[in-house]
Amino acid sequence: MSDAAADAIAAALAVIPAVAALAGAARHDESRAVQAVVAISSLALLVAAWAAGLPRWLIPAQVLGLVGIAHAAGSLIGRRVEHPAHVLPACAVAAAADIASVLSPEGPSNAVAKSETAIALFALASAVPGTTAIAFVLGVGDLIFAAIVFGVAARHGVSLLKVGLLVLAAFATALAASAVFMMPIPALVPVGLFVVTAIPEFRRLAKKDRRAAAFAIAAAAAVVIGVAVR
């Protein structure tokens, strides 16, 4: 098996179950108490896996911990979004923040990538087939934003299956581009593009929201330009 194929399989083994779990969990509107229990138990799993040095057999615990934390945080936010089209400015802001985080030398993504301790806590792990290596494919921020989108979709009757397939396609696009160009690619850029383009409810802004959305998008664009010209 080639290295590229092994890496692709490792990414799929982590990303597909994570996205499926987030989509499935979004169907249930839990109370805050349940969300707190999910968050605390997920954090305990994550810390336990990290404290043990993240051996391959504890990777499922690490993944479950990150997914649980992402769901608890994302659902708390997403299910309180009043209009589905608020996803549009949220995607612009999230994508800009992701670009700044990934491409800026001082960004959080670079800091996490350079720290073995941080990456085991904040990035989704997967065992690479045919090797003893562990690959880290997506950050917890990517999972939280996906969970927010799933929460919005669940509240407003948008197909979770459709959103899930779009999120999977977006993550796959980012990971493939990263492999081709041999550099980190901000995953929330394709996530935003895919869900806003393919789901009309996510871009049909109410008239009263258009000015605020335009301001958010302009601010996001300014951040991207600022990072690009540095």
pLDDT of amino acid 191 = 98
pLDDT tens digits, one per residue of 161-207:
999 999 999 999 999 999 888 888 899 999 999 999 999 999 999 99
How far apart CA 100 and CA 218 sit, in angstroms, is 15
**CA 12, 17, 20, 25: dihedral to nearest 10 degrees?**
-150
Residues of the chain with pLDDT under 70: 1, 30-31, 33
**What pLDDT score does 37 carry?**
78
Two tokens, residue 49: 């896996």
- Give 50-69 pLDDT, tens digit per residue: 887 888 888 999 999 999 99
What is the structure's pLDDT at 1?
A: 64
What is the pLDDT, as a whole number, of residue 121? Answer: 87
What is the pLDDT at residue 110? 77
Whether 163 contacts 149, CB under 8 Å: yes
pTM value is 0.93
Task: Return the pLDDT at 170.
Answer: 97
Total number of domains in the chain:
1
* Host domain of residue 77: 3-229
- Count CB neighbours of 176 within 10 A: 14
